[in-house]
Amino acid sequence: MDKDMEKYQYLRKYLGMGESELKKVLRMIDAILEEVQAFQNMRASPELCLNVRDQAVRIRSTLSSHLVALEDLILILRGQGIEI
């Protein structure tokens, strides 16, 4: 039984951390997007801003997909009686 509790605590800790970290990185990506979409930056270096924006959008999309998958996993575990 102690082994099951250890596994549960490990799972809870790392799933919670994973969700928190993904959300933190998404906020950083949003800040990058705001910066490169600012009018003065677009005027100063349009090509660089567009390239950075395109990369940030791709990264944000990938992270969002991972966050959705993690949230789905947490819901599935809750459905099985495992509260995360």
pLDDT values of the chain reduced to their tens digit, one per residue, 84 residues: 577 778 778 888 888 888 889 999 999 999 999 999 999 999 999 999 999 999 999 999 999 999 999 889 888 888 888 777
Q: Rounded to two decimals, what is the model's pTM?
A: 0.75
Which amino acid belongs to residue 7?
A: K
Where would I find the H helices in the chain?
A: 2-37, 39-44, 46-79
Residue type, 52: V
